[in-house]
Amino acid sequence: MKDFQKKINARVHSSTKTAPHELISKEEDSFTNLPNTRYVGIKEEIRKVSLDCLISFNGNRYSVPWHFAGKQVWIRISKGYFLEVYSQSNKLVATHGLLLEKGRVIIENDHYRGNNQRGGNFERLKQKFLESFPTEEVFVEKLKAQKRMNANLQLSKITGVNRALPERRFS
């Protein structure tokens, strides 16, 4: 391989009319040293955590600890293989392996532990709904009793709170 490189670098180039090894020796003084540590580009983005404790990234949804529901978090890719989720105070709160396929939901069960102590998503949505409509508690209870309706989704649509699921439009 080295013989091939020497042969090519000694050949006069048709546009510059000079051999590459001669040009590089002229330009060497203007070169700067490479840094001692490897540069890793970091792109951070903000995501809003849905009420079902998920964030969207690259066609998939990843879980986040329950107390971040409805709040904003920072995300970034680490080492090209991991999705890191940070709180607004820059504390690492979740790490997931990135998936190449799309449409998956990645849930870590520990992210939901303790959620029932505060009553879960439904209770929070119910309280938000009752702030606007204090006399309609019967409506909320009947909505919850409906088997075919997602009460959390309906309440989040009514209250305008970050939806548990993205709204889909069909043509």
pLDDT tens digits, 133-162: 899 889 888 888 876 667 777 777 787 765
Please give the structure tokens belonging to residue 155.
Answer: 């309440």
Task: Count CB atoms within 10 A of the CB of residue 140.
Answer: 20
Residue 55 binned pLDDT confidence (cut-offs 50, 70, 90): very high
Helix (H, G, I), strand (E, B) or coil at 134: coil
Query: Is residue 96 within a helix (H) or strand (E), and if so which, with residue range?
Result: strand 92-97
Sheet holding 105-106, edge to edge: 54-57, 60-63, 105-106
Q: Where are the domains of the chain?
A: 44-112, 119-159
Give 164 or 66, the one with higher predicted confidence. 66
pLDDT value of position 163: 43
12-38 pLDDT, tens digit each: 988 989 998 888 888 888 888 887 876
- What secondary structure letter does DSSP report for 45? E
Asked if the model's pLDDT at residue 166 lies above 50, the reply is no
pLDDT value of position 120: 54
Residue-averaged pLDDT of the chain: 82
Cα separations (Å) of 80 from 19, 21, 42, 105, 107?
39, 36, 10, 19, 20
